[in-house]
A = this chain, B = another copy of it.
Amino acid sequence: MHTASSMKESHDPSQNLLLGALPREALARLEPALVLERLELGTVVYESGDVMNEVYFPTDSIISLLYVMEDGRSAEISVVGREGVVGIALFMGGESTPSRAIVQSAGHAYRLKGQKLRAEFDRHGAFHHLLLRYTQALITQMAQTAACNRHHTIDQQLCRWLLLSMDRVNGDELTMTQELIANMLGVRREGVTEAASKLQRSGVIEYRRGHIRILDRAELERRSCECYAVVKRESDRLMQDQAVWSKDSG
């Protein structure tokens, strides 16, 4: 009874914000091809260089796009939740990317075959418009990550990362180890431990063996680098006028 997930849940494609922003007709065309899927923590959705055959529209799961270097070190380049879609290379035309997509927080996503995706994309209606705008938001996130990696401390980046995750999950608790976070940020686990215990001592968060609860979100935002706010603002700007398009033809 400590989480809602033990209760009966209802699922609907429009819980994903991209799908939810589509006009009725467009969503109706896609709906028969959307397959609800449960994604467990750590599942690799795409491996670097794999040819993609489908895309995923998360609802309550979070998927990280991770770069893995030759020596095994890694860095997260962006994170995708209900606001987005994993597998943009399928409509951008590349069929694969050199990054890995891995489930960072267990949950659900709707899977869509590449062929169906492209059929709707190629109608050049709301779906097309929406996916390109989302891609631009994703680009902003990657660019900000690049700059953030260069200039900001682990303390700041941990705050940014917690905020990005919080925005994509229900409730105020995240299920993930510090080791995992370290892999995402591309830093040592001990560095995350230190940063996290500072936050805990200050009463900003509270954690125990793989669970993190946010206690003071405002303070978290204050301690974060500007990168969180910049990405959020730009994402909101790019996605806000979906409503306008939803009224047009699909």
A residues neighboring B (CB under 8 Å): 65, 67, 69-70, 73-75, 77-78, 88-89, 91-94, 97-99, 122, 124, 129, 132-133, 135-140, 142-147, 149-151, 186, 226, 230, 234, 237-238
Contact A147 B93 (CB under 8 A): no
Known interface pairs A124-B124, A234-B98; A135-B67 also in contact (CB < 8 Å): no
The 10 nearest A-B residue pairs measured at CB:
A146-B146, A67-B147, A92-B136, A149-B149, A75-B147, A150-B186, A94-B136, A149-B150, A77-B143, A75-B150
Known interface pairs A93-B136, A139-B139; A146-B77 also in contact (CB < 8 Å): yes
- Chain B residues with Cβ below 8 Å from A74 are 147
Q: In the complex, which of the residues B136, B146, B234 contacts A149, with contact meaning CB atoms closer than 8 Å?
A: B146
Contact B69 A151 (CB under 8 A): yes
The docked-state distance in angstroms from the alpha carbon of A48 to that of B99 is 27
- Chain B residues with Cβ below 8 Å from A149 are 146-147, 149-150
Known interface pairs A75-B150, A92-B133, A186-B150; A69-B226 also in contact (CB < 8 Å): yes
The docked-state distance in angstroms from the alpha carbon of A94 to that of B73 is 33
- Chain B residues with Cβ below 8 Å from A69 are 147, 151, 226
The docked-state distance in angstroms from the alpha carbon of A157 to that of B167 is 34
- Chain B residues with Cβ below 8 Å from A139 are 88, 92, 97, 135, 138-139, 142
How many copies of the chain does the oligomer comprise? 2
- Can you name 15 extra interface pairs (CB under 8 A) apart from A98-B140, A138-B139, A146-B146? A67-B143, A67-B146, A69-B151, A73-B151, A75-B146, A77-B147, A91-B132, A92-B133, A94-B136, A97-B140, A97-B143, A122-B124, A124-B124, A147-B149, A149-B149
For A234, the closest partner residue in chain B by CB is B98
Known interface pairs A77-B146, A149-B150; A93-B133 also in contact (CB < 8 Å): yes
- Chain B residues with Cβ below 8 Å from A186 are 147, 150-151
The docked-state distance in angstroms from the alpha carbon of A88 to that of B135 is 11
The docked-state distance in angstroms from the alpha carbon of A88 to that of B138 is 13
The docked-state distance in angstroms from the alpha carbon of A69 to that of B65 is 23
For A142, the closest partner residue in chain B by CB is B142
Contact A67 B144 (CB under 8 A): yes
The docked-state distance in angstroms from the alpha carbon of A70 to that of B144 is 12
